Structure 1
Amino acid sequence: MKIAPLVLLAVSAATLAGCSSSPGAKIGLVDSTPVAAYGQDGYSATEPADYLLRPSDVVSVTVFREPDLSVESVPIGADGMLSLPLAGAIKVDGMTTRQLEQEVRNKLASSLVSPNVSVNIMQFGSHVVTVEGSVEKPGMYPFKPGTRLSGAISLAAGPNRTAKLKDVVVFRQTVGGMSVAKFDYAAVRSGTMMDPVLQPSDRVVVGTSGLSVFWQDLLKTLPAFALFTNL
């Protein structure tokens, strides 16, 4: 009769151990098809070929043989404007660096003969992701263009012990308003679900399982269940 509670705990622990394991990796091409039922339309696993400048990005603008017209580091304003010597204010939000180079050349053409202009991105200041929920280190993190959902979770030191990997949600600001998409992180890691490329200001929330940390710690303290070390 006294064995019953231990049996229940064993069943619970075994169930937890099974839930915590991840499916094996899929061999071959990773599935990159959006799941419409999860709100994944509009998400992509492909990095854009050309980077588009955004507010808070920092650029350098070099006008060759014209040091007074060059700037080593200048941030793009919240309104998407960039102010440059002689060229004046330019709306650069959504431009590529090549397009900005051409725009600066056009602005300077009335004052200089065949101006030679080079633009480089010094800092991707617009690229910040918020990671919340059941991760080891929630917070806001800068990231490089091309970073994926798995990268955002890694920046937060990975899921914690109460993470519900099937319930990872990404909040994204779109032209039509805030959108919400769900991802099964276990499927993402195995290659059977898209690992989407992040967008600036994305917010990632990792769900929490119903089992509290207290119960997980309790199971680990029981000698009979010491083998369940991956709970």
Structure 2
Amino acid sequence: MQMMMRAWLAWLMVIAPAAAQEASSGRIGSRDSVEIRVFREDDLTTRGQLSTKGEIEMPLIGAVRLAGMTTTDAARAIEAKLHDGYLVKPEVTVAITARVRKTVTVLGQAQRPGVFQLDPNRELTIVEAIGLAGGMTRIANSKKITLKRKGSAKPIRVNVRAITAGEARDIPLRDGDVITIPESIF
């Protein structure tokens, strides 16, 4: 029993830091919260949420655009700016402290309608979102699906049958998109 407990603790010591590392690293989203630390320069430590432009204000160097970068790339970019006239050999770490969830909603004649989270590191299309919802029911009208975009007054009509047949292009989704699958008359 004691040996099993030691093995479990050893496993936990290996896995827990890796899981924490994964949550705090990766590609930075445009409204994520980050923590930026500069080794031996506590006054330059910066915490906060990125602006809608994907920037954060830092002491000495001002606004820095981080959205779309990996945490490693962001650290290197900040190091370069700090090295340019401020510090001799800056060492920077960037960690994502909170992610802003980006979602799409699938309504109507889907097998499992609901809200689905977008992966910040991958583009999701309308056909893939319908697939995440389990596909369409047998009474769905695949030719008259609507896509409602945030900030757009007019919905986009989508023919998914044409997309899957290769006759039309699939549509990349954005945060807040709502897909509605209507019922077929026949």
Q: Given the two structures, how large is their TM-score scaled by the length of structure 1? A: 0.50
Matched, 1:127 2:106: no
Distance (Å, rounded) in 2 between the aligned partners of 1:127 and 1:106: 30
Higher relative contact order (CA 8 A, sep 6+): 1
More divergent stretch after superposition (156-165 vs 75-84)? 75-84
Superposed counterparts of 1:137-148, under 5 Å = 137-144=112-119, 145-148=122-125
Matched, 1:192 2:167: yes
Residue 161 of structure 1: how far off its partner (Å) = 2.7
> In the alignment, which of 41, 54, 66 is matched to residue 30 of structure 2?
54
Match of residue 138 from structure 2? 161
Answer whether contact 2:29 2:100 (CA < 8 A) is retained. no
Distance (Å, rounded) in 2 between the aligned partners of 1:104 and 1:178: 43
Q: CA RMSD in A?
A: 3.9
- The C-alpha deviation readout for 1:145-171, integer Å capped at 9, x for no partner, is 311111111222221232110011111
Give the direction of change, closer, same or farther, for the CA distance of 1:156–1:112 in structure 2 (3 Å limit): same
Secondary structure of 1:141 counterpart:
strand
> In the alignment, which of 136, 148, 158 is matched to residue 171 of structure 1?
148
Secondary structure of 1:208 counterpart:
coil
Corresponding pairs, count:
154
Answer whether contact 2:83 2:90 (CA < 8 A) is retained. yes
Give the letter for the 1:150 counterpart. Answer: V
Residue 77 of structure 1: how far off its partner (Å) = 6.2
Answer whether contact 1:130 1:139 (CA < 8 A) is retained. yes
Superposed counterparts of 1:90-109, under 5 Å = 90=63, 92=65, 95-97=67-69, 98=73, 102=77, 106=81
Distance (Å, rounded) in 2 between the aligned partners of 1:165 and 1:192: 14
- The C-alpha deviation readout for 1:136-190, integer Å capped at 9, x for no partner, is 222221122311111111222221232110011111235xx44522211112222
Residue 115 of structure 1: how far off its partner (Å) = 2.0
Distance (Å, rounded) in 1 between the aligned partners of 2:61 and 2:49: 14
Residue 117 of structure 1: how far off its partner (Å) = 3.4
Distance (Å, rounded) in 2 between the aligned partners of 1:53 and 1:70: 20
Answer whether contact 2:126 2:171 (CA < 8 A) is retained. yes
Answer whether contact 1:82 1:90 (CA < 8 A) is retained. yes
Structure 1 gaps of 5+ residues are 1-50, 212-231
Q: Tell me which structure has the larger Cα radius of gyration.
A: 1
